[in-house]
């Protein structure tokens, strides 16, 4: 795992988007795993800018999102399909048929996970999975105690997640209490993981996930098992990390980071 600390949120966002863009330029048929949440909005704005101003071409890319609320239709402004269309898909030249999220309106809740897994497999697997982290340490919606071998399935959300996400709902109580999410095992199958974490409020959970013991109580800690992980953070989120000196040192000296310095 590599941790990269950038001075500000804007720098961390730009680096994250630059890594996605570089991979897409190298492989126009990239399969991206995508994430939602407030943190990612700026990443999608930057990818949109790169598309409009630098011609970044998404025409043969495919995407699979991590998760979706159960019971929200695509036109509900709190569904993750709505979020993705608004913040990214409507603004770039991706083919909508190549964008995938779990179907929150399916009649077959128990079958949806297997269907989604099969679609990921048919696309050749995820090349780069973008990740955020929830206040309770979740990746996707893999809440505490999710098996570290879990696959895409329906999951009951925690009170902590309800508190974090219900602010976007009107009234807050209308937030669904269940969601589909890729499993931790599904996420670990991606060929590369890029996690973006910004802001002081994430400092404690970030330190647990990155430097703490691997535990299903903090499902983000499972990324320690993956052999190609970059965690990009701003100074505020990095404030509780023990290895800061090394992380700065590595970014400032390692040849693979030269073009991003």
Q: Which residues bind ligand GLP (CB under 6 A)?
A: 35-39, 66-67, 132-134, 140-141, 161, 165
Q: Please pick, among 100, 112, 138, 234, the residue that the annotation labels catalytic.
A: 138
Q: For residue 59, which of 20, 99, 23, 119 has the smallest C-alpha distance?
A: 99
Radius of gyration for the alpha carbons in the chain, expressed in angstroms and rounded: 17
Least distance from C-beta 47 to ligand GLP, angstroms?
A: 16
Active site residue 87: no
Cα three-residue angle 113-119-122, rounded to 5 degrees: 140
Q: CA-to-CA distance for 129 and 126, rounded, in angstroms?
A: 7
Best CA proximity match to 94, nearest among 52, 142, 48, 62: 62
* Catalytic (active site) residue 9: no
116-121 own/partner pairs: CB under 8 Å, 24+ apart? 116/64, 116/152, 116/180, 116/182, 117/151, 117/152, 117/186, 119/64, 120/31, 120/64, 120/186
Our measurement of the distance from residue 63's CA atom to the centroid of its chain's CA atoms, rounded to an integer in Å, reads 12
Give catalytic status of residue 136 as yes or no. yes
* CB closer to ligand GLP, 67 vs 234: 67
Distance in Å, CB of 40 to ligand GLP, minimum: 6
Nearer to ligand GLP, 78 or 224 (CB): 78
22 is catalytic: no
CB of 22 within 8 A of CB of 244?
A: no
Least separation in angstroms between CB 86 and ligand GLP:
15
Closer residue to ligand GLP, CB minimum distance, 31 or 133: 133
Residue number, 98 or 158, with CB nearest to ligand GLP: 158
Q: Which of 46, 143, 189, 234 is catalytic?
A: 143
Catalytic residue among 67, 68, 189, 234: 67
Q: Which of the following is catalytic: 127, 136, 189, 234? A: 136
Q: Which residues are catalytic?
A: 67, 136, 138, 143
């Amino acid at each position: 795992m590599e941790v990269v600390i950038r001075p500000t949120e804007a720098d961390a966002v730009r680096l994250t988007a630059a890594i996605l863009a570089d991979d897409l330029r190298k492989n126009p048929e990239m399969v991206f795993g995508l994430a939602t949440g407030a943190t990612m909005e700026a990443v999608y704005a930057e990818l949109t800018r790169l598309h409009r101003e630098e011609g970044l071409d998404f025409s043969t890319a495919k995407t699979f999102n991590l998760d979706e609320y159960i019971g929200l239709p695509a036109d509900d402004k709190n569904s993750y399909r709505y979020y993705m269309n608004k913040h990214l898909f409507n603004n770039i030249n991706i083919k909508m048929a190549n964008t995938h999220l779990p179907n929150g309106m399916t009649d077959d809740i128990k079958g949806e996970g297997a269907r989604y897994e099969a679609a990921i497999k048919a696309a050749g697997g995820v090349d780069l999975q973008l990740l955020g982290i929830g206040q309770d340490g979740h990746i996707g919606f893999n809440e505490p105690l999710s098996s570290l071998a879990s696959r895409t399935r329906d999951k009951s959300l925690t009170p902590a997640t309800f508190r974090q996400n219900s602010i976007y709902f009107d009234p807050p109580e209308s937030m669904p209490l269940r969601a589909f999410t890729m499993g931790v095992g599904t996420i670990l199958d991606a060929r590369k993981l890029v996690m973006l974490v910004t802001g002081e409020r994430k400092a404690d959970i970030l330190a647990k996930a990155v430097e703490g013991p691997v535990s299903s109580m903090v499902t983000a800690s499972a990324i320690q098992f993956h052999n190609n992980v970059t965690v990009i953070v701003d100074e505020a989120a990095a404030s509780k990390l023990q290895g800061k000196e090394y992380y700065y040192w590595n970014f400032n000296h390692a040849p693979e980071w030269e073009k991003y310095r």
